[in-house]
A and B are shown apart, each in its own frame.
Chain A
């Protein structure tokens, strides 16, 4: 559905150049909910704005629903970026909806008029617009707010209006730029559920930009992690988060896991490391989640295992577990126990003075 190749974008500021996007390649399938996560300044907003050419890249190719929005063409021996004509671009944008962090509703229009905005001044007849808007209002569940102005709505309701507006002209793709970042947890959940619903009902392909790990966890199937304009890791959510490779990804994983509380425990000397023990972090995946490995290890190697923190999360309907445990006993036995864990598909990280060795 969306294919991005060799995308580059640099902002030329007065005192320096900022490479917002560097050699980004992405491929998003139809009907997928694809998350792009990164800290602010990672270039994710620039990237999503390139998909509908609100932002013009310097280099690269973007294809959305078989339409080439921009590509590189060799003109007189020089590679030049060629985009769709203004008119073609406007037509293509009707096929790519977009929602924003701050909703961007028109304040002087009612909910009805806001949703009708993209349909007005098109070939659509008045009656059809009326019908379509009512359909959309039904879909996002705002039947009682039809004549209300945005100022009288809550954040969650505003985002619902924005979503209805974005999908009014039946787009195949919806771009979501931090759409839940300004919402409280309840509203965030309801908006995410709505997006999930639309994805299922309409087969809408959704690209989500976010800095919140929880958003990715709750609705995305695929994820790309961005840092300094580059995609450092991408793949399906489960494998990325069960086995994070880069530091950024690890940080994001830690941000929503209770396991990072071990740092606090160590800091306050509530648990201590000693010569006869090793503090370890065990990550176990869907295959091993039900096995009684810990008691097996304890019996087999004569190691005392005290569980300090444990968690289990459901990602893409599959469990992903983690345990912080203190292994105590003979050092050789401990090492053998660790080996046993690893042989049984349990990832082991030894924590030393709060750091992973």
Chain B
């Protein structure tokens, strides 16, 4: 087996330690920035939904403020956004390189995208359902958690999957500015040193990560349509 690996992907074998560290770095960045971006993005998405015109807590100022910020952030290519954010990142976490330095730009790059997706998803919850809940004396918090979020769970899982996959792409890009991870590894140890096998293996590993995320997302989304996951029977 080892002989075979040495023959087919010699450079990966030579740099195997770096390869494993960088794979783990990618996963670490993915999990940390993913969780933070999910929470903030969900919050912003909900805020957009309820403050927009006709929303349950209409507020023009908050809505337009968020709307403009999101539009600006989304129109900046990520690679430029990272560089643009370097001074702020330094102030915030003390460094602009490595995993620590990558988290902040990754979150900033993901939140607007995710918030928009959440907004679109929640917009699909019909006004009728909200109206019915209001007629039963439901509060604003109740409307958000018991109607909006609950009804949209399968869709939210779907857009979370999409966002997670695009986050994997952003992490690879962050590698270009010294964040580490598979993107970095593929660039510096692969492309720069003409080790094609390293680039190929990095592509395969990223592909596998994406496939796993997609599979988990699809499964959860399907299972939650009728709450099969948490179903309780009442007799």
* Interface set of A (CB-CB < 8 Å, partner B): 52, 54, 86, 90-94, 96-98, 100, 102, 104-110, 112, 117-118, 120-121, 130, 146-147, 149, 151, 162, 165-166, 169, 175
Contacts and interface: CB of A to CB of B under 8 A. Distances in A.
A277 B24 CA distance: 100
B150 A108 contact: yes
Given A92-B137, A98-B136, A147-B233, 18 more contacts: A52-B135, A54-B135, A90-B138, A91-B137, A94-B136, A104-B131, A104-B132, A106-B129, A106-B147, A108-B224, A108-B227, A117-B146, A120-B146, A147-B234, A149-B226, A165-B132, A166-B136, A175-B135
Given A54-B134, A98-B132, A108 B139 contact: no
Contacts of A117: 133, 136, 146
A100 B227 contact: no
B128 A102 contact: yes
12 contacts: A54-B135, A92-B137, A97-B136, A100-B131, A104-B131, A106-B151, A108-B154, A118-B137, A121-B146, A151-B226, A165-B136, A166-B135
B126 interface: yes
Interface residues of B, number: 25
A321 to B, nearest CB: 41
Contacts of A108: 150-151, 153-154, 224-227
B13 to A, nearest CB: 50
B142 interface: yes
Contacts of B138: 90, 118
Given A100-B128, A104-B129, A108-B150, A93 B135 contact: yes
Given A100-B128, A106-B129, A93 B136 contact: yes
Interface in B162-214: none
Q: Which one of A107, A112, A166 has the highest number of Cβ atoms from chain B below 10 Å of its Cβ?
A: A107
A104 B128 contact: yes
A137 to B, nearest CB: 10
Nearest to B134: A54
A91 B154 CA distance: 32
A232 to B, nearest CB: 27
Contact of B135 (A96, A102, A107): A96
Nearest to B130: A104
Nearest to B152: A108
A121 B134 CA distance: 14
Nearest to A118: B136
Nearest to B136: A118
A147 B136 CA distance: 22
A224 to B, nearest CB: 21
A112 B131 contact: no
Nearest to B129: A104
Q: Which one of B132, B138, B153, B233 has the highest number of Cβ atoms from chain A below 10 Å of its Cβ?
A: B132
B215 to A, nearest CB: 22
Contacts of A97: 135-136
Nearest to A137: B234
B139 A90 contact: yes
